[in-house]
Structure 1
Amino acid sequence: MLTPSSPHAVGNQSVQQVMFSVWAATLPGFAALIWFFGWGYLINAVLAVATALVAEAIILRLRRRPVWFFLGDGSALLTAWLLALALPPLAPWWIPVIGTLAAIVFAKHLYGGLGNNPFNPAMVGYAVLLISFPVEMTTRWGIPAALATEAHSLLDSARVIFAGLRVDPALVDGMTMATPLDVYKNDIATLDAAELRAEPLFSAGWRVYGWEWVSGLYLLGGLYLLWRRIITWHIPVAVLGSLTLLALLFSWNPDLRVPVDLHLLGGATMLGAFFIATDPVSAATSNRGKLVFGAGIGILIYVIRTWGNYPDAVAFAVLLMNFAAPLIDHYTRPRVYGEGRS
């Protein structure tokens, strides 16, 4: 898809190289998710990737496009992978399947395939799931291994994911909970910050809740992408900067609202800033436009988390700014080389 700003330079990395580099950069964070919250993330990833490859192959065949050529570019794999990272690890098996189908069929191929989609496909799949199945999407997050009353074995995770309500309710209750963001947002109405911070979920240390380690590894993966020049710094810095600024301005009292450290490290902020918002197809294209685009995402994340009904707002923030990306590109188009200012 042609972008509205020029020059249209061609890089020396293929689509396949870019996709697999982004995928590789998520692996440390993915390993941490499994370590702290169980094998459900691996099951989610397998289900999502398998669904994406099958759906992509079928649609390519129906569109009479070369199947193996497009399957090999890694775009379907990366879309499914990013969706799987954002899903609750113990959600029913049909959650990643439905979300991936929505991402591949409706958000990608309905608009003409890779390079033509105006919205981030993974976030479309996530939004469809969150709106359609709010209970499954908000109550099936894994309890950190150090706090769980049940083992985080692959077999137990598979039983919860595939057998659902047919397993012992005690097993489900002992392995699932809400996210730290959701817990803090709801419990701060009856407890003060000191009481909340004293609970094991919010105590410091890698053996407790683990989200800060997952976010830190996503940050390292994002820095790797910056070093490889696969992404630029503009969108991540704008997302994190605007979110931090608003949290410092309006959440300075942790007895009233979620504090800044939890905004940055307790949810999908780092994954969203470096791996989702930077999608080159659905984001703004010029450097000034990327700053506006990223700042808008950070602002929307804070607004939705603080005054909205959803505990984590990355998907909706990205999709809303995807709507605005063409307008941003129009008004931040760089001056054409050799053309004077009017």
Structure 2
Amino acid sequence: MDTKLIVSASPHVRSEETTQSLMANVIVALCPCVVASAIIFGMRALLVTAVSVVACVAFEWLYCKLLKKTNPISDLSAVVTGIILAMNVPVGMPIGQLIIGDLVAIVIVKQLFGGIGMNFANPALVGRIVLFISFAGSMNKWVFPDAAVDQLSSATPLAVADKSKLSLLDLFMGIHGGVLGETCALAIVLGLIYLVATKTISIAIPASYVGSMFVFYLIATHSVHEALVAVLSGGLLFGAVFMATDYVTSPFTLKGKLVYGVALGIVTFAIRYWGSYTEGVSFALLFMNLWVPYINDLTRQTPYGYIKPAKKAKEGAGK
């Protein structure tokens, strides 16, 4: 007998999934990026990741301890925040500065707004932006794999003027400079496949975000190669898979997810193509996070049997 449908007060459809199991799936999906960062940039990548995770967990435990709140560290959300923030910094990021980003992400963005499920923006995203604004020198101090130095002239792919000289294979495999998690597109794709296969996320947001960016660049440059470079460069893929799909700060309807993804593509393209800042993903995500409540309201599904007020009044007048 199927016991999923419960005739009682909502929720009617129940699931065995928990916050801990969902966060565990995200951690597993992030593992290819962590491993790739260590292979590309060296073992310090693992140190940066470990420090970020420990700091996030410690800050969450300490905050809840001091305020005598239920400690949520077992839900693994702080671990996810720590890994994602680590994947958003260069391998040479000073540890002290990284810990400041962890503090902002966990205490200011997450806990001060009520804890998990209450944050207005992705904690790791805001932590990264604070680090970028406060420590721009450290955040832009790129480390390059030896094989990529000559080819890319010591510049990240987004900063290279002639995109036609960039190898798509090198971009896909991560043989170029950048922050830890954004370089290897292969690792990100593997994580995406796992998240979609386990139904942890919907493909709608990554597909609409990356797809719209490809189309916009194709229209603007008339070059498939340059459009693919734009997709494979910078933090687009990592942001689309691991940050744009955050449950709290992304729409909950399919229509809303598609609108959100395309809007992210528009904002990111505008910043990259017409702005002076070559990246744009972080600021586009933060901007669109603030619009999610309105997207949810505008794309809310119509309840079964619902009659519009105007139609209801007309039917009442006709009786």
TM-score by shorter chain over 0.5: yes
Distance 2:215 2:116 in 1: 35
Distance 1:72 1:118 in 2: 22
- Spell out the pairing of 1:141-180 with structure 2 (5 A cutoff): 141-147=142-148, 178-180=155-157
1:35 Cα deviation (Å)?
Answer: 1.0
Q: Deviations over 1:131-179 (max 9, x none)?
A: 11212111x2221143569xxxxxxxxxxxxxxxxxxxxxxxxxx9542
Higher relative contact order (CA 8 A, sep 6+): 1
Structure 1 residue 227 and structure 2 residue 197: aligned?
A: yes
Distance 1:19 1:207 in 2: 26
Instruction: Give the letter aligned to residue 180 of structure 1.
Output: P
CA contact (8 A) 2:120 2:289 kept: yes
Match of 1:153?
none
Structure 1 residue 240 and structure 2 residue 210: aligned?
A: yes
Distance 2:12 2:279 in 1: 35
Distance 2:265 2:93 in 1: 27
The equivalent position to 1:79 in structure 2, one of 65, 78, 81, is 81
Structure 1 residue 30 and structure 2 residue 34: aligned?
A: yes
CA contact (8 A) 2:174 2:185 kept: no
Instruction: Give the letter aligned to residue 156 of structure 2.
Output: T
CA contact (8 A) 1:26 1:221 kept: yes
CA contact (8 A) 1:38 1:145 kept: no
Q: Give me the TM-score of the superposition, normalised by structure 2.
A: 0.84
For 2:266, what is the secondary structure of its paired residue? helix
CA contact (8 A) 1:39 1:89 kept: no
Mind listing any 5+ residue stretches in structure 2 that lack a counterpart?
Answer: 1-9, 312-319
The CA RMSD over aligned residues, in Å, is: 2.7
Match of 1:113?
115
Q: Give me the TM-score of the superposition, normalised by structure 1.
A: 0.79
For 1:64, what is the secondary structure of its paired residue? coil
Distance 1:329 1:87 in 2: 31
Q: Deviations over 1:188-232 (max 9, x none)?
A: 2xxx455x448xx99679594388971122112112111111111
Distance 2:12 2:115 in 1: 20
1:304 Cα deviation (Å)?
Answer: 1.4
CA contact (8 A) 2:173 2:185 kept: no
Distance 1:306 1:65 in 2: 46
Give the number of equivalent residue pairs.
295
For 1:259, what is the secondary structure of its paired residue? helix
Dislocated runs of 4+, deviation >4 Å:
6-10, 201-208, 210-213
Distance 1:9 1:310 in 2: 46
- Spell out the pairing of 1:116-131 with structure 2 (5 A cutoff): 116-131=118-133
Change (3 A) 1:44 1:310: farther
Change (3 A) 1:305 1:41: farther
CA contact (8 A) 2:171 2:184 kept: no
Distance 1:13 1:271 in 2: 24
The equivalent position to 1:326 in structure 2, one of 289, 293, 310, is 293
Distance 1:181 1:8 in 2: 48
Structure 1 residue 268 and structure 2 residue 272: aligned?
A: no
Match of 2:274?
307
Distance 1:308 1:75 in 2: 34
1:294 Cα deviation (Å)?
Answer: 1.2
Change (3 A) 1:331 1:193: closer
1:19 Cα deviation (Å)?
Answer: 0.4
For 1:66, what is the secondary structure of its paired residue? coil
CA contact (8 A) 1:53 1:77 kept: yes
1:287 Cα deviation (Å)?
Answer: 1.1
Match of 2:4?
none
- Spell out the pairing of 1:249-264 with structure 2 (5 A cutoff): 249-252=219-222, 259-264=226-231
- Spell out the pairing of 1:2-13 with structure 2 (5 A cutoff): 9-13=13-17
CA contact (8 A) 1:36 1:145 kept: no
Q: Deviations over 1:36-61 (max 9, x none)?
A: 12223212111211111111011111
Q: Report which of the two structures shows the higher radius of gyration computed on alpha carbons.
A: 2
Change (3 A) 1:251 1:63: farther
1:312 Cα deviation (Å)?
Answer: 2.0
Match of 2:158?
181
Instruction: Give the letter aligned to residue 261 of structure 1.
Output: L
Change (3 A) 1:142 1:105: same
Distance 1:295 1:265 in 2: 17
Seq. identity, % = 34
- Spell out the pairing of 1:133-144 with structure 2 (5 A cutoff): 133-138=135-140, 140-144=141-145
